[in-house]
Amino acid sequence: MAITTDDVEQALAEAPTETECSYTDRDTLLYAVAIGMGQDPLDPQELEYVNESSGSRVVPTAATVLSRGANAGGGLRQKMNYRMLLHGEQSLVVHQPLPPAADMRVKSCVTGVYDKGAGKGALVTTEMTATLMSGEPLYTLGATSFYRGDGGFGGSAEGAPQPHPLPDRAPDQTCELAQRADQALIYALCGDRNPLHRDPDIARDAGFERPILHGLCSYGIACHGVLKSVLDYDHTRIREFNVRFSAPVFPGETQIIETWQDGNVISFRVRIKERDIIAINNGKCVITQ
């Protein structure tokens, strides 16, 4: 069932959906393990993220899984080809460090739908804001979803998000993070059960030789790399963390996080060692000085 411009106008006119969400330290600890932390169980800095008796640090990008049940534009998405969906971009604004457990109110809405043309797909942008029950802002998420099979419905392509430019010099630092072959199976337990990442038949139907890793898992791995190589594992310094996904990743591949620091902006990208391709590009992390 193809979408129409009327479907798009209706989605953009809808009031934000409001949901109450809760998470516990089981969720934040599992997330850290799911993005590859704790592979060295004697690393004292990573233990603060994966073992509650060692510390209570939370990876900022865990925000992407803690309010997963709050989704906007359900009517529009039901008409789009879910099997041809890829994550295009992800942004995060951290208003305060994430607590290990919390009760939240979450608002989400569709902010844009862009038609790239017949055979070229469509982009859907959404925004999600989370506040503590006291009303204090916790985080804001922005996402761009790329529906490869839904272009050509007659909409406009103007106004789509623009990428953060990377510096024109060699990276200041690199951080190599090897991943597990079962990484997608672990990450799926954080809430994203899309079979594209676990079912070989569905992956082949979507055009991949085997299941691909969740884009948001690679997003978390990139954050792990920045924390490790630039911020000495101090999660409280991250204020924004934004990426553009540029190529699929397979579970078990080694991700190399390349970083540049200019003042309070860390630019970064992620290179896949085994295939020498860029999987995440135009990354921007804003930090406190």
Residues with catalytic roles: 192, 197
Structure tokens at 151: 């272009």
Helix axes 215-229, 25-34, angle to 10 degrees: 90
Q: What is the DSSP letter of 101?
A: S
- In the chain the beta strands, taken as DSSP E runs, fall at 17-23, 85-94, 102-115, 122-132, 137-147, 173-177, 238-245, 255-262, 265-272, 277-287
- What residue type is 206 in one-letter code? A
Q: DSSP string of 144-191?
A: EEEETT---SS---TT---PPPPPSS--SEEEEE---TTHHHHHHTTT
Q: Does the CA dihedral 145-147-150-154 come out positive or negative?
A: positive
